[in-house]
Structure 1
Amino acid sequence: MARREKGGFWVGLAAAAFYPLTAIGKRVYLGAEKIPRQGPAVLVMNHISHLDPAVDAVFVHRQKRVPRFFLKASLKDVPIFGRIVTGSGQIPVARGSSAAGDSLKAAHQALQEGKVIVIYPEGTITKDPLGWPKEAYSGAARLALQNDVPVIPIARWGTNQIFNGYTKKFTPFPRKTVTHLVGDPIDLSAYRGGNPRSASTLREVTAVLMDEVTRLLAEIRHEEPPAKKPETAAETKKADSGTADVVKDPATALDEAAAAEKPEDGA
């Protein structure tokens, strides 16, 4: 039996805060054994509520791993919480600045050190009223292709029924069920042999990642997803420029960080 990954004092403090918070919903974990108990991994997830980071952090921690999220760099300045962010090894994102590349370097370093990174390719919570994933950014694909580590799709459903971030409606009772369904690692070997940094490859891999997440979400919901994504990433980027998300647009941060790595096919 694998031992729990050591997190230290600050991870323990975060757990002490998040575990009671996430107890607001009933937990259902399906396929959790597919998350590696040791070694690096990228966990690709959908994003439906501002509760997701806390709920997902507890989910990963219950699998004996310490999750690393992309957080807005400004959160480091928040009293106490900022110390937790820094002490627990989270990755600060300095959007639109010369330090944007630091988040990409930190992500690569974390994977090289055998850590688990959680990323929401959509960047922010979906605006689809039915909660289906929107078009995603390519940052997650870039991270996955540049690191030969397990890339694991995970769908989560139920947090949006507790707290809807856009209507600001908080409905803790009656108690809702929050379900996580973990899929098999996605084989990206076919995309590593050519030019993994080309625009066409990044678009294709992004679609592969999100199609699998959407398939898992459909399985949880026992519904068919829409044939077309609710909205495009470009539209959401413009609309969300002022949205205060807890984990804000990490995929876009990776895109910005790698701006110098221009796609070769010009697509």
Structure 2
Amino acid sequence: MGPSPRPGRWPRRWWRATRPSCGRTATRSATGPLPEFLDGQGGHPVVAYAGSHDRVHVDDRTLASLTVPTAVLDQARARVGSHKNTMFVVQSSDTVVPADRLRAAVRDGLAETVDHLTGSSTSFAVPAWRKWSRMLVDQRAAKGWPTVFADRRGLLRALAGVWESVETAGMDGGHLRGLFADGLAQAAAVLEEPALAGEAQRWREIGQRWHLLAETALPEDVPAIVRLRELTATVTGAVAAGDPAAAQWAAAADRCGDCGPSTRMRRRWTRSGWPRSAPR
């Protein structure tokens, strides 16, 4: 129901200039079963680094070996039609990037990020946040939250989507503002531009504001929401643990589907003003 809260994208020029020497393949996919309502929605790249028999070894922030059946990976890659089974193959090996080339890549990457975020797109640039914030409170727009969730159906799923996109417990690793801030701090040293270090601190402050928004969207004072948060974190943690925890994350993912808001909960939210008071 809103844009992904990411600070930017990997610039094509950065990719061409650095060419990481890992000898691996990055593919857009999902390593676990997803509900049907997510068909066609975007995913993120994962690294496929080996194959054995009918399984593929993938790395998605994992701490141990994680394998996926080849058929499942093929299905996941085809899940989003616009991605067209995207695959990036990194072919360079033992490459040392010269300092001047690295500086140029960092500067070009920052410039492209600025160009991207300052664009006019209401889906992929800063104006997307203005549009999204307006839809949260617009009672007349057909796509406004007060209209779409007038009967509260699907509201918990939408709020959970906000929380998962922002917090590290979600599938995509969170809002990444802190990671972007670390990159700015490193860029300040590489480019000898001290002002970038100050911008890094601003990004960390912005990241904290996103955390507060996530906590507002999915507060811990509702028991069913606490359970949903716990199950989501269990799935993410178990995926990171690799194959030994496969049964754990599969079971937790199944139980997540049973955490929808009951009629009683929807009535409670309406009476208490939460979250009706937020979008209005």
Q: TM-score band (shorter)?
A: under 0.3
* Higher RCO by CA contacts (8 Å cutoff, separation 6 or greater): 1
With normalisation by structure 2, the TM-score equals: 0.26
With normalisation by structure 1, the TM-score equals: 0.27
Specify which structure has the higher proportion of strand: 1
Specify which structure has the higher proportion of helix: 2
